[in-house]
């Protein structure tokens, strides 16, 4: 069964510091991974997906199949980055685009 693990429930950094949110996955097929973000009092929204290999709001994430990881990184955190971050894995075996979410990491960027 597929599983997504985010080992840190809480992560606190100071503004300008680098930040890394960890995500590990377990999946037998070829994974498709995503990072979603939920700002305070807002809905869940897609931040980035690994197949796009893009940088959104300064965040990047690289899929490491050897380590089964998809960590989210940003070199210089900003206060507006404070939010809940979820790593998610798409079940590519089905046709319905099912997502399995990790438990999330609450990032707090302090001034």
Partner 1 sequence: GAVVSQHPSWVICKSGTSVKIECRSLDFQATTMFWYRQFPKQSLMLMATSNEGSKATYEQGVEKDKFLINHASLTLSTLTVTSAHPEDSSFYICSARDLGGRVDEQFFGPGTRLTVL
Nearer to partner 1, 94 or 111 (CB): 94
The widest CA-to-CA distance across the chain, in whole angstroms, is 44
Whole-angstrom distance, CA of residue 108 vs CA of residue 111: 10
Q: Binding pattern to partner 1, positions 50-89, x when CB under 8 A?
A: --x---------------------------------x---
* Binding of residue 30 to partner 1 (CB under 8 A): no
**How many degrees, rounded to 5, is the angle at CA 9 between CA 1 and CA 60?**
80
Residue 46 touching partner 1 (CB under 8 A)? yes
For residue 96, the minimal CB distance to partner 1 (Å) is: 5
Q: Which stretch binds partner 1 (CB under 8 A): 13-21, 38-46, 64-72, 73-81?
A: 38-46
The answer to whether the CB of 106 falls within 8 A of the CB of 57 is no
Selected from 29, 67, 96, 111, the binder of partner 1 by CB under 8 A is 96
DSSP assignments along 18-33, one per residue:
-EEE--EEE-SS--EE
């Amino acid at each position: 069964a597929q599983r997504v693990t985010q080992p840190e429930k809480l992560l606190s950094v100071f503004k300008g510091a680098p930040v890394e949110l960890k995500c590990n996955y377990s999946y037998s097929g070829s994974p498709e991974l995503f990072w979603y973000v939920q700002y305070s009092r807002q809905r869940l929204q897609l931040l980035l997906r690994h197949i796009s290999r893009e940088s959104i709001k300064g965040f990047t994430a690289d899929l490491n199949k050897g380590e089964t990881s998809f960590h989210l990184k940003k070199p210089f955190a900003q206060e507006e980055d404070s939010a809940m971050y979820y790593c998610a894995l798409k079940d590519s075996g089905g046709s319905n685009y099912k997502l399995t979410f990790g438990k999330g990491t609450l990032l707090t960027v302090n001034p």
